A and B are shown apart, each in its own frame.
Chain A
Amino acid sequence: KAGVTQTPRYLIKTRGQQVTLSCSPISGHRSVSWYQQTPGQGLQFLFEYFSETQRNKGNFPGRFSGRQFSNSRSEMNVSTLELGDSALYLCASSPVRTGGLYEQYFGPGTRLTVT
């Protein structure tokens, strides 16, 4: 099976702009989670989508939003970019099992630089 893919891999934006990142999960995986990784804060959970619904959300401002499509692909949007949004954004997909535990499989990430 192909792994989790993320596009684009690198992105440079200017403060105040908005950005959309894309994630294609492993075939058959219905859960997609997003993380922000920075040297200072480490890995921070943004949100999780399952069957087109946001199921869990981390502690990020409303400028960060996401959505999931019927084919499980997901997009993450950040509006009004700030310098502090510069980070590696990781997407992870999971083979959700009803009532059970599931593992996460990570994509290579999108490196966002805000200038």
Chain B
Amino acid sequence: AQSVTQLDSQVPVFEEAPVELRCNYSSSVSVYLFWYVQYPNQGLQLLLKYLSGSTLVKGINGFEAEFNKSQTSFHLRKPSVHISDTAEYFCAVTLVVNTGNQFYFGTGTSLTVIP
């Protein structure tokens, strides 16, 4: 069975401080990993993705994530957050199966940037 766990439901952080949002997954097969961001009253926007290759992935808005296969983790980081980063962040896992792709999402982490 596949699952995605986001360890923190809420993360408050001061403006210009670094932040890490944690994500762990469980899967018996190879997976592809994504982080999405959702601003209030909007859909999800793709932040970054890990498909293969370098385990350090850079995304939009200064975010990056590191794939750690041994720890089955894909934590999201930003060295200095801005007020505009306040949003809900979702970690997602994709499996490629013969009927198409299957997507599994974590329950989300609410990031609040404090001025």
Q: Which residues of A contact B (CB under 8 A)?
A: 4, 31, 33, 35, 42-43, 45, 48, 50, 55-56, 90, 92, 94, 96, 99-109, 111
Residues of B within 8 A of A42 (CB): 105-108
Q: How far is the CA of A67 from the CA of B44 in the complex (A)?
A: 22
- Taking a contact as CB atoms under 8 Å apart, the answer to whether A101 and B105 are in contact is no
CB-based A-B contact count at 8 angstroms = 54
Task: Tell me how many residues of B have a C-beta within 8 Å of chain A.
Answer: 24
- Taking a contact as CB atoms under 8 Å apart, the answer to whether B96 and A96 are in contact is no
Give the interface SS of chain A, mostly helix, strand, loop or mixed.
strand
Q: Which residues of B contact A (CB under 8 A)?
A: 32, 34, 36, 41-46, 49, 51, 90, 94, 96, 99-108
- Taking a contact as CB atoms under 8 Å apart, the answer to whether A108 and B41 are in contact is yes
- Taking a contact as CB atoms under 8 Å apart, the answer to whether B100 and A48 are in contact is yes
- Taking a contact as CB atoms under 8 Å apart, the answer to whether B101 and A94 are in contact is yes
- Taking a contact as CB atoms under 8 Å apart, the answer to whether A100 and B96 are in contact is yes
- Taking a contact as CB atoms under 8 Å apart, the answer to whether A101 and B41 are in contact is no
- Taking a contact as CB atoms under 8 Å apart, the answer to whether A108 and B43 are in contact is yes
Nearest CB on A from B58, distance (A) = 16
Nearest CB on B from A100, distance (A) = 7
